[in-house]
């Protein structure tokens, strides 16, 4: 169907009476009249009877679900929960459901799990508030369950959700989806704390129709919004926001005649979950490459996602944390960094995705500090490297000299070894966790990209969709914080480099439960001094040349 005809049908489908707010063209085929011919409408009705007639479609949905043999199933846009529940019960599954809040929306999110594998420990429902106008506007939801594995007693927090889609005319709603993810992150944290479950030891897995083509942009906006908002202890987000990854879906998750996109995801916490990727039947794999859906094989307009995941053991997590710290700190030069990354990828591809949180940094530090002295000395470092079989071809004397020159030299007291503050500062300096998300958010905020600066007005515009949410922020306070750190001024605003530096400092300051520890690490990092952009370096070099020639431009100020 031509794009303009499809647009007209959608406009007619969503058209409402301005006074009563009721649909003008309710039900088929009223919204297609005048756009489609009688013959075309008859063809659609024939296809509907073949593919969408509910008794046939329900039977095919059951077949697809049972064929996956999954331990846990997440279904969204689910409007036949009781029918699906009766079917799944026969195959040993229990289930829970949350309905969307609007009366006209009969669907919702459901989770099912094998009773032979898991016990339900707790459950919670979340209704998202998208905005206030002035009353709360609620349309989407999420379901969260806490499951305990029967044999291992390992607990998992699993969420099923369906985030906001873009508007009918294609306008993106990235900020609304980020707001919803922020609400979900706060809710999961409160849910686990109320269930007396450790935030760091309980894996979090989020499944659903995320409706975001770029998962990196979505998570980046959530991360940056949280850091800029400076959320209080009562509104803190679950750590998965800064340490999560989406399973590789190996291509699109929906293919129709109108779209071919990846909008569905399985997100998991990288610090506590080992994921082995997608596992789909050959029939579904073929359909993903060749077919538009729904069809006789796939009864939905979304392909199923199936992934094998497991909880990481405590010892494995310690080993990963130690390797990650060394992999970040060890490569001093860019050349060495490339060699080290190649070695790590050959040994363990997963370690490159591992992000260290305060718990992991503590575990790694205690593991390397063999003598439990509170300081990592040369002998401790060499023993740790020996265990990991890293730099094994280098002689002991060379390794001692390297450690003293490159690692101890960065410490506040080189003669005393590496304390925990030094340990964390080295990691965050060499591995700026927020760099990628800061770039994504900066491009989203900056209304005039050629300028490469963000102003307080642009920050105010960015915060507007997050009003009365966990990500609500005060642009004026944020800008004053940046100015106090020497990262912004009232004329130009804040550069990209300064923006990254500000977020990096706030990240370290807020991620530790002890605020004083975060501040000490930031001070050790020297985080108030941003790295210059390419343009700033070029201008500085130009000013240096002019100064030598006696033509320095005193009106040009470069923050180095």
Pair 39, 130 in one domain:
no
Rounded CA-CA distance 303/295 in Å is: 11
Does any domain span residue 483? no
Number of H helices, E strands in the chain: 19, 15
In a domain, 542, yes or no: no
Using CA atoms, how far residue 435 sits from 183, 346, 504, 553, in Å, is 23, 25, 8, 32
pLDDT in tens, 198-254: 998 899 999 999 998 888 888 888 888 888 887 554 457 888 888 888 888 888 899
Clarify whether residues 68 and 136 are in a common domain.
yes
Q: Which of 56-70, 119-133, 260-274, 513-527 has the lowest mean pLDDT?
A: 513-527
Cα 480 from Cα 471, distance rounded (Å): 18
* Residue 556: band (very low, low, confident or very high) from pLDDT cuts 50, 70, 90: very low
Average pLDDT over residues 318-337: 72
- Burial classification of residue 406, based on how many CB atoms lie within 10 Å of its CB (0-12 exposed, 13-18 middle, 19 or more buried): middle
Token pair 């500090």 in the structure block, residue: 369
- C-alpha distance from residue 185 to each of 146, 471, 515 (Å): 15, 10, 21
Residue 427 has pLDDT above 70, yes or no: yes
DSSP 493: B
Residues 40 and 108 in one domain: no
Q: CA–CA separation, 404 vs 415, rounded Å?
A: 9
Reference 444, options 127, 283, 224, 208; nearest CA is 224
* Whole-angstrom distance, CA of residue 399 vs CA of residue 392: 9
Select from 399, 430, 461 the last residue of a domain: 430
**38 and 71 share one domain:** no
Q: Mean pLDDT, to the nearest integer, of 336-349?
A: 43
* Segments forming the whole domain that contains residue 87: 53-211+243-277+303-312
Least confident range from 75-89, 141-155, 241-255: namely 241-255
Decide if pLDDT at 343 tops 50: no
Terminal CA-to-CA distance of the chain, rounded, Å? Answer: 57
Domain check: are 19 and 32 in the same one?
yes
According to DSSP, the residues that pair with 454 across neighbouring strands are 494
d(CA 126, CA 144) in angstroms, rounded, equals 8
The answer to whether the CB of 148 falls within 8 A of the CB of 157 is no
Residue 85 confidence (pLDDT) above 90: yes
Averaged over 481-498, what is the pLDDT?
Answer: 91
Name the more confident of 139 and 531. Answer: 139
Distance from C-alpha of 478 to C-alpha of 502, rounded to nearest angstrom: 9
Provide, rounded to the nearest whole percent, the portion of the chain with pLDDT above 70. 84
**How does residue 540 score in pLDDT terms, banded at 50, 70 and 90?**
very low
pLDDT score of 483:
93
Dist CA 210 CA 459 (whole Å)? 25
Mean pLDDT within 301-323? 91
Say if 494 falls within a structural domain: no
pLDDT for residue 357: 86
Could you tell me which residues are beta bridge partners of residue 111? 74, 96
CA dist 557 and 560 (Å) reads: 9
Q: Determine the pLDDT at residue 547.
A: 43
Q: Looking at the structure, do residues 87 and 106 belong to the same domain, yes or no?
A: yes
Predicted local distance difference test score (pLDDT) of residue 216:
80
Q: With cut-offs at 50, 70 and 90, classify the pLDDT of residue 529.
A: very low
Tokens 């343009």 sit on residue: 535
Q: Is the pLDDT of residue 537 over 70?
A: no
Average pLDDT of the residues in 148-157: 97
Q: Is the pLDDT of residue 333 over 70?
A: no
Do residue 40 and residue 58 come from a single domain? no
Counted domains in the chain:
3
Q: Which residue has the higher pLDDT, 318 or 532?
A: 318
pLDDT confidence of residue 290: 74
pLDDT band, residue 340 (cuts 50/70/90): very low
Query: Confidence band (pLDDT; 50, 70, 90) for 116?
Result: very high
pLDDT value at residue 404: 64
For the whole model, what pTM was predicted? 0.84
Q: Which of 173-182, 395-404, 537-546 has the lowest mean pLDDT?
A: 537-546
Burial class (CB in 10 A: 0-12, 13-18, 19+), 24: middle
CATH code, 379: 1.10.238
Does residue 183 share a domain with residue 43?
A: no
Higher-pLDDT residue of 471 and 362 is: 362
Mean pLDDT, the chain, whole residue set = 83
Structural contact between residues 303 and 253, judged by C-beta atoms closer than 8 angstroms: yes
Question: Does position 186 have pLDDT exceeding 80, yes or no?
Answer: yes
Please give the average per-residue pLDDT across 256-268, as a whole number. 89
Omega prior to 386 cis, within 30 of 0: no
Whether pLDDT at 528 is above 50: no
Residues 258 and 349 in one domain: no
Whether 153 shows a pLDDT value over 70: the answer reads: yes
Closest CA to 469 of 180, 157, 205: 180
Radius of gyration of the chain (CA): 27
Residue 331's pLDDT is: 60
- Over residues 176-193, the mean pLDDT reads 94
Of 374-383, 477-486, 515-524, the one with minimum mean pLDDT is 374-383
pLDDT at position 352: 43
Whether the predicted pLDDT of 307 surpasses 60: yes
Whichever domain contains 190, its CATH number is 3.60.10.10
Structural domain includes residue 156: yes
Residue 250 within a domain: yes
Same structural domain for residues 125 and 11? no
Q: How far apart are CA 248 and CA 260, in angstroms?
A: 16
The predicted structure's pLDDT at residue 80: 94
The H or E element spanning position 93 is: strand 93-99
Q: Are residues 134 and 63 in the same domain?
A: yes
Q: Is 76 within the bounds of a domain?
A: yes
Q: Are residues 196 and 273 in the same domain?
A: yes
In a domain, 502, yes or no: no
Q: What is the pLDDT of residues 37-78, one digit of tens each?
A: 999 999 999 988 887 888 888 999 999 999 999 999 999 999
CA distances from 239 to 81, 337, 437 (A): 32, 27, 15
- Residue 480, pLDDT score: 92
Q: Is the pLDDT of residue 114 over 60?
A: yes
Q: Does residue 501 sit within a domain?
A: no
- More confident: 78 or 2: 78
Task: Give the pLDDT of residue 487.
Answer: 93
Task: Choose the final residue of a domain: 391, 415, 430.
Answer: 430
Last residue of a domain, one of 406, 430, 454: 430
């Amino acid at each position: 169907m031509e794009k303009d005809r499809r647009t007209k049908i959608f406009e007619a489908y969503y058209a409402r009476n301005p006074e009563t707010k009721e649909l003008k063209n309710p039900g088929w085929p009223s919204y297609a009249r005048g756009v489609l011919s009688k013959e075309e409408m008859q063809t659609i009705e024939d296809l509907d009877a073949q593919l969408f007639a509910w008794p046939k479609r329900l039977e095919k949905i059951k077949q697809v679900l049972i064929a996956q043999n999954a331990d846990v199933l997440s279904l969204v846009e689910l409007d036949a929960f009781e029918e699906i529940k009766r079917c799944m019960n026969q195959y040993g599954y229990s289930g829970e459901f949350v309905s969307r809040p609007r009366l006209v929306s009969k669907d919702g999110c459901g989770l099912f799990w094998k009773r032979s594998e898991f016990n339900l420990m707790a459950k919670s429902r979340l209704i998202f508030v998208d905005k206030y106008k002035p009353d709360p506007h609620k349309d989407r939801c999420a379901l969260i369950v806490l499951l305990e594995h029967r044999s291992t007693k390992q607990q998992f927090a699993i969420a099923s959700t369906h985030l906001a889609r873009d508007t009918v005319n294609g306008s993106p709603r990235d900020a609304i989806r980020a707001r919803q993810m922020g609400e979900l992150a706060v809710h999961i944290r409160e849910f686990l704390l109320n269930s007396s479950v450790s935030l760091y030891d309980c894996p979090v897995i989020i499944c659903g129709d995320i409706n975001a083509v770029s998962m990196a942009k979505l998570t980046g906006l959530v991360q940056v919004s949280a850091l800029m908002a400076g959320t209080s202890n009562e509104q803190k987000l679950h750590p998965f926001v800064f340490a999560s990854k989406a399973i590789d879906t190996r291509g699109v998750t929906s293919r129709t005649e109108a779209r071919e996109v990846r909008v569905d995801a399985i997100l998991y916490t990288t610090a506590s979950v080992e994921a082995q990727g997608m596992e789909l039947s050959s029939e579904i794999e073929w359909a993903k490459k060749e077919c538009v859906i729904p069809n006789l094989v796939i009864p939905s307009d979304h392909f199923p996602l199936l992934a094998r995941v497991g909880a990481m053991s405590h010892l494995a997590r310690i080993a990963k944390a130690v390797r990650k710290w060394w992999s970040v700190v060890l490569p001093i030069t860019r050349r060495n960094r490339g060699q080290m990354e190649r070695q790590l990828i050959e040994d363990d591809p997963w370690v490159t995705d591992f992000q260290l949180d305060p718990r992991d940094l503590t575990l790694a530090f205690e593991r390397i500090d063999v003598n439990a002295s509170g300081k990592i000395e040369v002998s401790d470092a060499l023993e740790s490297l020996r265990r990991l079989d890293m730099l094994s071809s280098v002689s002991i004397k060379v390794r001692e000299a390297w450690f003293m020159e490159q690692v101890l030299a960065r410490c506040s007291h080189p003669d005393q070894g590496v304390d925990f503050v030094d340990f964390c500062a080295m990691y965050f300096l060499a591995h700026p966790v927020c760099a990628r998300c800061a770039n994504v958010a900066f491009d989203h905020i900056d209304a005039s990209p050629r300028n490469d600066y963000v102003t307080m007005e642009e920050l105010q515009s960015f915060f507007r969709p997050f009003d009365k949410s966990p990500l609500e922020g005060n642009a004026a306070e944020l800008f004053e914080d940046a100015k106090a750190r020497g990262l912004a001024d009232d004329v130009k605003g804040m550069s990209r480099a300064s923006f990254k530096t500000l977020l990096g400092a706030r990240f370290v300051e807020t991620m530790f439960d002890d605020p004083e520890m975060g501040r000490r690490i930031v001070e050790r990092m020297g985080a108030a001094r941003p790295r210059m952009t390419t343009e700033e370096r070029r201008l500085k070099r130009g000013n240096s040349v002019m100064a030598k020639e006696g033509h320095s431009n005193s009106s040009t100020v470069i923050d180095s």
